[in-house]
Amino acid sequence: MAPIDPHSFTESNDPLMTHLSLSLYFDFSSSTIHGSVLLSLPNPHSGPISLDTRSLSVAAAVDPETAAPLPFSLSPSTDPIKGQSLTVSLSNHSRFLLIFATNPSSSALQWLSPPQTFNKSFPFVYTQCQSIHARSVFPCQDTPAARICYSARLNIPRQLSAVMAARHVERRAPVAGEAAMACDDSLWCAEGRMVEEFVMEQPVPPYLFAFAVGEIGSREVGPRTRVYAESVPAVLDAAAREFAGTEEMIRVGERLFGPYDWERFDLLVLPPSFPYGGMENPRMVFLTPTVIKGDASGAQVVAHELAHSWTGNLITNKTNEHFWLNEGFTTYAERRIVEAVQGEDIAALNIGIGWRGLLEEMERFKDNMEFTKLKTNQEGVDPDDVYSQVPYEKGFQFLWRIERQIGRPAFDEFLKKYIATFKFQSIDTETFLNFLKANVPGIENEIDLKLWTEGTGVPSDAMEPVSNIYTKIVSLANEFKHGRMPREDEVTDWRGQEWELYLENLPKSVEASQLSALDARYRLAESKDFEVKVAFLQLAISSRCRDYHSEVERTLKEVGRMKYLRPLYSALVQGSGKEEEKIFAKRVFSEARDSYHPIAQGVVESILSKHL
């Protein structure tokens, strides 16, 4: 027997679960969830079945028909990446019930106390299950090879409301007997509790399981979209303005990739500690508030998460070793949507920023080139530690290369056929390549498919974008090396993306006086656009411009998005002669740590442990 996924205890001969029914009681006072999950298999099964857990206490395994206990055991040791294996012994069972409780240190959950929220009145909790954190919320086969439908009852305090990446059924009073052993009826039906009920009728991988509970309000922004956030009128109004064009993007996506299969495309703007830009949870995308920039450019993150509705959510990588199938396709699809909605120049800027990011990742992984491949070997590797732009940008470059080879009309037809053929399935790189060769005969003679998917580095037939604005910005960045700052008339029309591209093309170490002069003229360190601010602060750290340490500290304490934490902490501690910066980084992290999501805490700890 062998696991089907390097990040899961699920064995290759275990049947894969098809449906879950969850009852979850939220105890904010102890930052825990008392829960039960009824797991359904496609057919009756006899013998052991292995599930993934992390930091869960499991109280019982039960036959739901007879209420008789079933033998179960948790592995005595904890794998630092996978957690603990839970083995349940079945005897001709197609369903079994598990009773469990989460731990306050659950790697998927961030519990925010009232002072950590906008209104500072009520607590808040939300999930981030990608890549392998669903197992810290409930026992499951936590591999994208398993696709599940589910129903969920969330028992929460009356003053709060819940959202999920699922269809909302109703909000109602609790009913005795429905806790399914998650807790006693006296607790479930206590005064001041409400139940929010949800159902997900389409099969999704476990990493797309998502909820948030707090003081949540909403605004309608289109026929298929509401924006949700903490119930603060200013936040809701700003989000509604930023994402007003969402319906147009959905229609463009449907024209390019086929029907939108998820009915709703709602958006939840989370507190600043959310560790990603966006998370493509179906029906309810989770977003960082840093994407609300006031100029609708944050819609590009929404375009990416929307594109996942076809590539990633409909067709999913079978394991994280094929993550590029999710992210490379989605980055390509995002840029096609952006091009249709915002124009070719904006799409070219997007590609240019991605190109710079890809080259920087080659530098980051120069001592571990395995992670510059599209198809990687992740045995014994934590996917959060090697998360990078490579699957996004090298994957995009690969698909763009195929498009250039066969022409856009033919590639569009291929994409639609690919999505229609594999929707609601989890596949691997070989499956994609076989489909490509069958549908584009002779493609392997024109493009080295093995080099692109299994080779290290950036292939020679990858390409920088071609556009006048991209060329102009890169040329202005080159002139800065010779002491010429851009004139105000040259940057009048620049928004965040133009500045981000400019800063990312500057040399990594410039004179501190040059940087200060650039900032004095254009106030980049104070930019409301975090992409611009962080790109500038990275340069300031690299140039030993310590005048900006207070702004670096403020930024690291204000947001928990790993896209900003990773480069800023890395810049502070990498390299020689950085003793003062290392002390500074260690102090800032010790003070900011509790405000970060557990995934972000782990990533920063990993960076610091390598260099301190």
Q: How far is CA 339 from CA 108, 212, 411, 413, in A?
A: 34, 32, 16, 18
Strands 148-157 and 19-27, by their bridges, are parallel
Q: Cite the active site residues.
A: 305, 392
Strands 216-222 and 225-230, by their bridges, are antiparallel
Torsion sign over Cα 170, 175, 177, 180: positive
Nearest Cα neighbor of 79 from 382, 300, 287, 316 is 382
Q: What number of CA atoms fall less than 13 Å from residue 118's CA on the CB side?
A: 17
Phi, psi dihedrals of residue 340, rounded to the nearest 5°:
-70, -35
Q: How far is CA 539 from CA 222, 362, 487, 573, 593, in A?
A: 40, 19, 20, 14, 24
Which residues touch 179 (CB under 8 Å, ≥6 apart)? 23, 25, 36, 155, 185, 187, 188
How many CB atoms neighbour CB 610 within 10 A? 10
* Gyration radius from the chain CA atoms: 24
Tokens of 497: 């993306």
Beta bridge partners of 232: none
The DSSP secondary structure of 310-359, one letter per residue, reads TBTTTEEESSGGGTHHHHHHHHHHHHHHHHHHH-HHHHHHHHHHHHHHHH
